[in-house]
Structure 1
């Protein structure tokens, strides 16, 4: 992470965007839980919420990830940078895995094409938030600027 800026001027905006992604995932998870409540955990049916396929399992996963992102955003102190980066990579991998099993019996999370696309876009935006949200001391920021000027 040596190339990621420290104390970027827009870091509060990126932190807020990360929090909004957490809120979206919690809302999607709760709505999916209400929609698929009482059904099978990994049902493969026509259940959809906000235009995306879901089931009880994916709703619980989404709500859990959203809560983790919200807690990390509230904690700050570069915890949000670490969580946003790793969960961004995780959401990208989940979206690709969902795309790979889209029309097979292994589609346990009931993904649709829209679900895979939204999951990958959320992962990309979380990675962006993780890259530009780093906070550090003035010495770290100056060292980053000096290293950047050398290149």
Structure 2
């Protein structure tokens, strides 16, 4: 994308923030697995972890997403940028879907309002980390600077 900054001065900070978001997802998921152990995979009960509604299925999904983010952060080389951006979009869709079905029988991830807010905030953090974490050559950075100044 031409409007995505290349070699942003704060890219190490954004990469670290993306990694911390992945770590949060893993910790939340692990606590959710511990809390909901023995329940059904998609139980719709009052199970809460860190003030957020969850069940075994959502906890496992959170662990997988967090591990993918952490793997991308560890690999770097713009792999983290792609992973962060695509998972951010996926997490936005899941959180909006959870909000749409929050008081129905289709709420199979056992979402509540705090879960939707935190999951959406995490997706926005990942999106920003993906947009400002791009690394490129000096020529790519110069081309981005020229394109930015034209707009």
Give TM-score, length-normalised by structure 1. Answer: 0.99
Shift of 1:38: 1.1
1:16-27 superposed matches below 5 A: 16-27=16-27
Report runs of 4+ in structure 1 exceeding 4 Å deviation.
Answer: none
Aligned equivalents of 2:150, 2:22: Cα separation in 1: 37
Unaligned runs of 5+ in 2: none
1:71 aligns with 2:78: no
Where does residue 14 of structure 2 map in the other structure?
14
Where does residue 143 of structure 1 map in the other structure?
143
Deviations 1:101-128 (A, max 9, x none): 0000000000001001111111111110
Aligned equivalents of 1:150, 1:2: Cα separation in 2: 12
Where does residue 130 of structure 2 map in the other structure?
130
Aligned equivalents of 1:109, 1:2: Cα separation in 2: 37
1:37 aligns with 2:37: yes
Question: What is the CA RMSD across the aligned residues, in angstroms?
Answer: 0.6
Where does residue 105 of structure 2 map in the other structure?
105
User: Number of paired residues?
Assistant: 151
Give TM-score, length-normalised by structure 2. Answer: 0.99
Alignment partner of 1:104: what SS? coil
Unaligned runs of 5+ in 1: none
